[in-house]
Structure 1
Amino acid sequence: MKRASLDLRAASSFSSARRGACRSWSDGMNTCTERMGILAKRNGTILIVLVLALAIMAAGCSGGQEGGQADGQAGPAAEPVTITFYLPYAGDTATFMEQYGNAIVKKFPHVTIKTVHPPDTNVAGHLANVLSSQEPIDIFLNGDTNHYRYITPFQYQYDLTAMIKTKGYDLSRLEPSTLEAVKALAPNGEIYALPLRMNVMSLLYNKDIFDKFGVPYPTDGMTWDEAYELAKRVTRKEGDTQYRGFITQSYSIAWQNQLSLGFADPKTDKPLFYTDERWAQVVQNINRFYEIPGNALVEGSFTGINNLFYKTKVAAMYAASIPGTAQEVNWDVVTLPEFSNLRGVGSQASLTLAYIVSNSKHKEQAFDIIAYMTSDEYQTEMAKKALGLPVIKTQSAKDAFGQDNPNLKGKNLKALTKNKPAAPFPQSPYQAITNNQLEKLWYQLGKGQLDVNTTLRMAQENALKEIEKLKASGQ
């Protein structure tokens, strides 16, 4: 890949002269050679001087040609610059530098990194304050599902298409689904960000429960039907403990659904739950697990469901993203079960994107940094720490996932990249509010208080009302 190098406008006039000489060198090689021969006959000293001069010109040529300089590195006279990252989560600069920033500074020693993040969960409120105070932001790291929450309301979007072309950035290195997901955020396929990392859903399982009941472990490549039959075998009650065969988060399974279904039509802003019959297939596929006696969805929150697997350890299988931190449960992982008519297709990827903010004063330098963050070198090191799956095609980077994370030692990590991520769906500004309506009702559905048809109809009606309210308020 021809990655971008930093702006060389601050390079010395001598370097410019060498590049000019370089053109003379390449254009007049034969003429120069002839003149050297003539001068050699006249004066050996002149010949020596010419040889030295031409050697300098040749060295300038090799350093100034496109792609000759090390990818992503600044020229020797690069001016110091501070690049500010916005992180839409409560965190600390030290952790960010350890995980991401130190490698950037090592590559670009003239860059100083500053981080800004909200003090609490009110990201939108914090961004409003940042905008009013004119506090600078250059690079915004944001989840793709939050594009219409944290980027467009503040007009932070900036199309990178022209810069990608002039910098010679090779988009073909990226996993196709990640680029499609970026383009799905724009009305005309603009590229507002480069993907940084991704996560996919897989099937975690508690080895101790399967051992306890003498049931074979789940395997890679299972269909949903096979997972359903397996769930029935490990949904049991022993004493006061009810073991649950299968759980998942309705929010995640909807956002990352394998059928690439959107929540709202981006052209009409109408919800799709009741008008696209494939939603019934997605919802019924999951709800049948909750219809297994003893496996009803009793919980009513993300944390409550999560705790079934990690805390109380009563859930045998959990469709989710893998944890990168140490867990008390004895777990392993296989591929997310597949629809029988979509073999080899996993969940849609959940992406973290690196945006260059529209009012950044350092767009050139910021682009070089995010371009470097998608390099083989950077993606491989990030994967080793299990900070996210690589967004590039390079197999060695994928194979490196989790190598330096002791919490993942011995896990079946290849399951994360065996399946092709499902294609992303076209985004609507009202995706989040629309999905929220389905999520609320899915808890009631899982408890047996609603049927699938009623759930989808109510989600459709409730979402339409919320969208109309937002439009009426000018949002």
Structure 2
Amino acid sequence: MRSTKWLSIVALCTFVTACGDSASSGPDSASKDTSTPKPTEATTPAADIKKITDTPTDLYIAYPGAGENVDLFMTRFGEQIKKKFPNYNLKYVPRLAAEGTNYYASALGSGTPIDIMISSLGTTTTYLTNLKLESDISDLIKKYNYDLTRLEPSLIDAQRALANGGIYGLPWTVGSFIFVYNKDLFDKFGVPYPKEGRTWDETYDLAKRLTRSDGGQLYQGFSIQIESAMGTNQLSAPYFDPKTHKSKFLEDSFLRAFENMARFYKIPGNETPASGVVNGFQKDKTIAMFMGTSGQVKPTAELIPNWDAASVPEFPDKKGVGFQSAPEYFYITKAAKSRDAAFQVLSFIASEEYQEWMGRTTAILPVMKDPSKIMQTYGAELPNFKGKNVAALLPKTYAPLAVTPYLTIGNAEMATVLKDYLGGRDLVSSLREAAERADKRVAAEQNK
């Protein structure tokens, strides 16, 4: 009831300009923060931080991934933020379905001061920079002496790349590609469980051994969410050139990464399942091994009690290197009226306190450079996590991030390329055509 009330208040404000005084909510006020006095030292004392958090403050937060679902925002973030900062009045700014791709037009048009935008790295262009909301928070990091070295370095490197050396936000989840398997199918066919540090070729052999028909039922060895996997591949082969934004689908490393994973679907009987790779693994329970986004850990545990995890397959020349991270961030926007108050929220979300709670209750992977302590309680309040090899969900080393603002365009093209490739088309020709389509879509985005 409480969260629904917040949603209605902000939704009303997005359509009624009288909700805010134009003199105090216009763009010139974005850099002003009336919630706290300026510090006299480079590092703000704890007493000043307390003064900020003790001051009643309205914070407007947008979470495009939740759309109009304020309950998802509250469950994942809002309730914990309110516990930590009871004097903050959180106001959720919904992404309205009626606005289509004209994201947050009503809110921004009426002067609603979005203080925090929550977005994945791949959609940062859509929800931050395209809306001209990006804002460097390096001054706040210095002001509050926030220790960036506690965080997984690749997550900060990604921000440096996006912000030309600055930082727009702090991460709330690392995201990653994970490898899980159904122990029941291994036991059924007498096949040893996947070992740590195995290569892609060894995983290919396992997939062939497990793909078979038994009692009239087809069982498949291995399925991959290959479209997303290419966007975070272990070879750091990028979709696009970081400067020109021209596609690089025909580079040798890109071809190697694609063919390495696509070959699994050419094993006789191991084709893409009709129900989809996720449903085939979790619901049909006819796929022995699955590799996909880290958001699939929790539903896997719920639907396959006898599951476990292992490290992702490795290239022989890239031992210990996992996929690239797929982080999501809390951004303080250019429209923020309460930057100092908002930064306390960012600091909390990226803290061990919140990260431990998140892993324990939601099975979302942490952003810390050393996650070992947090992983000790990972999934502890969820069913079917006890005794699982959850440490394997995180790689020893993340592959270097190939940052691109057009990740979703690349992922979409990979789905088409995979379909063509499995249908017998020449891979190079299919990738060349995909590159031409992608370049046109990127150009269209840039000309908006």
TM range (shorter): 0.7 to 0.9
Q: For 1:15-37, what per-residue CA distance to the aligned partner results, in whole angstroms no more than 9, with x for missing partners?
A: xxxx9xxxxxxxxxxxxxxxxxx
Residues 235-384 of structure 1 mapped to structure 2, 5 A cutoff: 235-274=211-250, 276-297=251-272, 299=274, 304-320=276-292, 321=294, 322-325=296-299, 327-329=302-304, 330-384=306-360
TM, length-normalised to structure 2: 0.84
Q: How does 1:69-88 map to 2 (within 5 A)?
A: 69=46, 73-75=49-51, 78-88=54-64
- In 1, the alpha carbon distance for the partners of 2:45 and 2:246 equals 52
Question: How many residue pairs align between the two structures?
Answer: 409
Distance 1:92 1:354 in 2: 18
| Counterpart Cα distance in 2 of 1:357 and 1:84 | 10
456-465 or 347-356, which moves further after superposition?
A: 456-465
The aligned runs of 1:87-236 (5 Å cut-off) are 87-88=63-64, 89-90=66-67, 92-120=69-97, 124-186=101-163, 188-236=164-212
Aligned partner of residue 389 in structure 1, secondary structure: coil
Amino acid at match of 1:458: E
Q: Secondary structure at the match of 1:414?
A: helix
Q: Alpha-carbon deviations, 1:327-357, whole Å to 9, x = none?
A: 3234221111111110111111111100011
CA distance in 2: counterparts of 1:268 and 1:397, whole angstroms: 40
Please state how far the C-alpha of 1:119 moved relative to its aligned partner: 4.7
Rounded Cα–Cα distance in structure 2 between residues aligned with 1:363 and 1:104: 16
Letter in 1 for 2:224: T
Moved more, 114-123 or 199-208: 114-123
Question: Quick check: 2:323–2:398 contact (8 Å CA) kept in 1?
Answer: yes
SS at match of 1:293: coil
User: How far 1:133 moved relative to its partner?
Assistant: 2.7
Q: Does the CA contact (< 8 Å) of 2:362 and 2:382 recur in 1?
A: yes
Q: 1:434 to 1:96 in 2, by over 3 A?
A: closer
Q: Decide which of 395, 401, 406 is 2:383's aligned counterpart.
A: 406
State the 1:365 CA deviation. 0.6
Q: CA deviation at 1:76?
A: 8.6
Q: For the residues of structure 2 that align with 1:77 and 1:353, how far apart are their CA atoms?
A: 21
Superimposed CA distance per residue, residues 173-209 of structure 1 (whole angstroms, 9 cap, x where no aligned partner): 11111111222323x1221111111221121111121
8 A contact 1:7–1:74 mirrored in 2: no
Higher CA-based Rg: 1
- Residue of structure 2 in register with 1:442 after alignment: 418
Q: Deviations over 1:89-142 (max 9, x none)?
A: 236434433432233223222111122223549763342232223223111111
Partner letter of residue 341 of structure 1? D
Pick closer, same or farther for the CA change 1:277–1:65 going to 2, 3 Å: closer
Match of 1:464 among 419, 439, 443: 439
Cα distance per residue 1:374-409 (max 9 Å; x no partner): 122222222222352221224312433222223423
Contact 1:196 1:353 in 2 (8 A): yes
User: Following TM superposition, by how much is the alpha carbon of 1:8 offset from its aligned partner in structure 2, in angstroms?
Assistant: 5.0
What is the rounded CA distance, in whole Å, between the counterparts of 1:7 and 1:223 in structure 2?
A: 54
**Residues 121 and 223 (structure 1), Cα distance of their counterparts in 2 relative to 1, 3 Å cut:** farther
- Give the counterpart letter for 2:198 in structure 1: M
For the 8 Å contact 2:35–2:55, the answer to whether it is kept is no
How much does 1:245 deviate? 1.1
CA distance in 2, matches of 1:426, 1:347: 13
TM-score (structure 1 length as normaliser): 0.79
Residues 371-380 or 149-158, more deviating: 371-380
Find the aligned partners of 2:210 and 2:116 in 1 and give their Cα distance. Answer: 47
**Which stretch of structure 1 is more off in the superposition, 375-384 or 75-84?**
75-84
Give the Cα–Cα distance (whole angstroms) in 2 for the partners of residues 434 and 77 of structure 1: 42
Q: For the aligned residues, what is the CA RMSD?
A: 2.7
Residues 365 and 310 of structure 1: CA distance in aligned 2, closer, same or farther (over 3 Å): same
Call closer, same or farther: CA 1:293–1:75 in 2, change over 3 Å.
same
1:23 match: none
Q: Which amino acid aligns with 1:324?
A: K
Q: Closer, same or farther in 2 for the Cα pair 1:241/1:361, shift >3 Å?
A: same
Q: CA deviation at 1:452?
A: 2.6
Which consecutive residues of structure 1, in runs of 5 or more, have no partner in the other structure?
A: 1-5, 12-18, 20-63
The 2-side partners of 1:438 and 1:319 are apart by 16
The percent identity for this pair of structures is: 36
Distance change >3 Å, CA 77–CA 246, structure 1 → 2: closer
CA contact 2:176–2:323 (8 Å) conserved in 1: yes
- Tell me the SS of whatever aligns to 2:298: coil
Give me the whole-angstrom Cα distance separating, in 2, the residues matched to 1:76 and 1:371. Answer: 13
1:428-439 to 2 correspondences below 5 Å: 429-439=405-415
**Pick from 28, 37, 51: which aligns with 1:9?**
37
Partner residue of 1:15? none
Name the counterpart of 2:29. Answer: none
Cα pair distance change 1:399/1:464, threshold 3 Å: same
Q: Residue 180 of structure 1 contacts residue 423 of structure 1 at CA under 8 Å; is this kept in 2? A: no
CA contact (8 A) 2:43 2:145 kept: no
